[in-house]
Amino acid sequence: MLTTLLTQIENNICTITINRPDKLNALNKTVITELSTAIDEVYSNSEIKSAIITGAGPKAFVAGADISEFLQLTSAQGEELSRRGQQMVFDKIEKSPKPIVAAVNGFALGGGCELALSCHFIYASENAKFGQPEVNLGLIPGYGGTQRLTQLIGRNRSMELLMTGNMLSAQEAMTYGIVNKIVTADELVSKTKETLQLIQSKAPLAIKAVIECVNNFDHTQQGYDFEIKKFGECFATEDLKEGASAFLEKRKANFKGK
């Protein structure tokens, strides 16, 4: 029984909706575990030919991770959190033999942006906003963000976004090459389904091969492993504790570089 997700299969398309609108659909351990289960179903269920990942409510796709879970983690525990999430969800989405598309309405920040980036492509509503603001917490992206963003938009733009923590509007994200199409919020899921129905009319093994070949382009595990290690190291810093505490207390963080 899924408690944080809604799933529906229609016309061979599985729509997975992260359903925590009161928390802006933030990722926590339960969401990660249930997303893993839902993606396994996409892999194994022959009725499902493609999938959409979206968020409930008008405000957010996924507005990040549940920062309250970060405060007590050691460096090793932070590394394990990153590795577990990548293996259970983000890598599994990227490597899915069936197309998985992100339908982003509202905020896609931190882990939410990384979730969208792990999908095979992204459709966005006009009010969508993308960003990797982890540096505000004394952290870096831990779910593939440094790697997928750089592959997608190039070194310089990736460096700027990751170091400033700035947000991009839907239009800016489309200009950067993060977003494939912008539609109204009302049309977002239906337009995504239209494209998936077109893809579903093609040869499934050819689609699978396309995904494998594109993912294999100059693509090694080394960068992800390095990111996992560096993410874990952040949990040994005073800045992580200060950044997470400041976020939860709704105050400005006072970082000391320790």
Catalytically active residues are: 114, 134
Q: Which residues contact 213 (CB under 8 A, 6 or more apart)?
A: none
Complete DSSP assignment for 60-102: EEE--B-GGGTTT--HHHHHHHHHHHIIIIIHHHHT-SS-EEE
CB 30 within 8 A of CB 68: no
Q: How far apart are CA 228 and CA 86, in angstroms?
A: 9
Q: How far apart are CA 114 and CA 108, in angstroms?
A: 8
Task: Give me the amino acid identity at 50.
Answer: S
What is the radius of gyration, based on Cα positions, of the chain? Answer: 17
Residue owning tokens 């831990």: 142
By DSSP bridging, strand 129-131 and strand 181-183 are unpaired
Residue 214 tokens read as: 């594109």
Task: Give me the amino acid identity at 75.
Answer: S
Q: How far apart are CA 79 and CA 132, in angstroms?
A: 18
Residue 7 tokens read as: 């799933």
